[in-house]
Amino acid sequence: MINLIYMFVFSLVYLLLLALTAGILTYVERRIAGRMQSRIGPNRVGIQGILQFIADLIKGVQKEDIIPADAYAFLFKIAPYLVFMGVFLTLVPIPFGAYTLMEDLDVGIYYVLAMASYVVIGLMIGGWASNNKWSLLGGMRSAAQKISYEIPAALGVFIVVIMSGSMNFQKIVAAQGASPVDWFVFRNPFTFIAFNLFFIASLAEGNRVPFDIPEAESELVSGYNTEYSGMRFLFFFLAEWGNLVVIGALVTCMFFGGGSFWYEWKISIPAPGRDPIVFEVLGFLWFLFKTFFFVFVIIWIRWTLPRLRIDQLMDICWKYMVPIGLISSLGIVIWMYFIPENSTIDRIVRLTLTSLGAITVLYFKYRVYKNLKITKATIYANPFV
């Protein structure tokens, strides 16, 4: 009974936090988009417009909840919640800290992939129950895209699972370390490829630009959610932005060392003699920092790249990502057989990849500086205008 109450309370807290984060992310995304387009973005509601998402929410609640006359009302009503639930449930096994997680599942990654596919059902139901052929087609498109990109995502996850020898998120994080050299992303070339596969496939699964063909807000009438209005419509968007957090958290866990933040400290094994609470909090904050960095990257990609064509989308998936994923999952097995962990070659490869990453970041800084010089603009880094 007590367990049941705990479960209820914690899921409520998680739900509220996710909803709040997703809401704030809509605001953050609009601000970032504005600055990238030399605009300001919403800055009128509250201090610097921070309450904009609440205003949007109130507007959504006020709107009439329209259900088309010939729609299948029950499924039509339930579809947005299914989609949101699918996104919310993926948060369950993600370790925000050694103890800050809902359930330490042994099949954590498998469960996350399953729940990500579960979203597809919600989208299909929403599209079908609207009794609108465009909605149905939109739902089909979304479903087709999500299912196709499950394969590269699963291949990327597969490589991580082979590397760490477990599907448990805690163990995956523990298999990595605090310093970039220990992260899976720089561990060897195949895990680096796995990171790219998983990240790109996650964008496609989350219907984010450049893979937002099913929704294509500037070209189509939004796909599966055409017939929705008011709060139900907002639920789809809540799910979309909640998904950003999920993608960021997954990438952090699987490739960027999770919440480990100090040398030799692994997230699931609090070292004896250290205050666990301090480390828990620090690890949690470090995890959140990484997560929101990737959320920022996803938003940044959205406002940089144009949309792909459908044939390009298929090309990327079937001609590039799937073959590369298959080759690297073969490669990782061979690599692990011939090159044991912490051997000289392993260390050299890690260091090389990490320095390549650092060089990329430095070159990126140089390019940004060049672009600023070309436009002859003065730097104004203050996010508030």
Q: Which positions lie near other proteins, rule CB under 8 A?
A: 32, 34-40, 300-301, 303-305, 320, 360, 364, 367-372, 375, 377-381, 385
Nearest-10 crossing angle of helices 133-164, 230-255: 20
Residue number with CB closer to other proteins (35 or 77) = 35
- Please report how close the Cβ of residue 327 comes to other proteins at its closest, in angstroms: 12
- Please report how close the Cβ of residue 224 comes to other proteins at its closest, in angstroms: 28
- 201/153 Cα distance (integer angstroms): 5
- Counting other chains too, the contacts that 273-279 makes at CB distance below 8 Å and 24 or more residues apart are 276/98, 276/99, 279/98
Read off the tokens for 220.
């189509």
Residue number with CB closer to other proteins (28 or 172) = 28
Residue number with CB closer to other proteins (34 or 331) = 34
- 108/191 Cα distance (integer angstroms): 19
Residue number with CB closer to other proteins (51 or 297) = 297
- Please report how close the Cβ of residue 159 comes to other proteins at its closest, in angstroms: 18
Read off the tokens for 107.
């099949």
- 359/149 Cα distance (integer angstroms): 30
Residue number with CB closer to other proteins (44 or 274) = 44
- Please report how close the Cβ of residue 350 comes to other proteins at its closest, in angstroms: 21
Residue number with CB closer to other proteins (74 or 364) = 364
- Please report how close the Cβ of residue 278 comes to other proteins at its closest, in angstroms: 34
211 with 203: CB under 8 angstroms? yes
Read off the tokens for 295.
């959320």
- Please report how close the Cβ of residue 51 comes to other proteins at its closest, in angstroms: 18
Q: What is the DSSP letter of 318?
A: I
Residue number with CB closer to other proteins (40 or 336) = 40
Residue number with CB closer to other proteins (165 or 323) = 323
- Please report how close the Cβ of residue 382 comes to other proteins at its closest, in angstroms: 9
Terminal CA-CA length for the chain: 52
- Please report how close the Cβ of residue 301 comes to other proteins at its closest, in angstroms: 7
- 359/144 Cα distance (integer angstroms): 38
Residue number with CB closer to other proteins (192 or 287) = 192
The CB density around residue 134, as the number of other CB atoms within 10 Å, is: 16
Say if residue 77 is exposed, middle or buried (CB neighbours under 10 Å; 0-12, 13-18, 19+): middle
- Please report how close the Cβ of residue 227 comes to other proteins at its closest, in angstroms: 34
CA angle 277, 278, 280 (to 5 degrees): 60
Three-state secondary-structure class, residue 266: strand
CA dihedral 18, 93, 8, 5 (to 10 degrees): -150
174 with 269: CB under 8 angstroms? yes
- Please report how close the Cβ of residue 323 comes to other proteins at its closest, in angstroms: 9
Q: Which residue from 154, 84, 68 is spatially nearest to 123, judged by alpha carbons?
A: 84
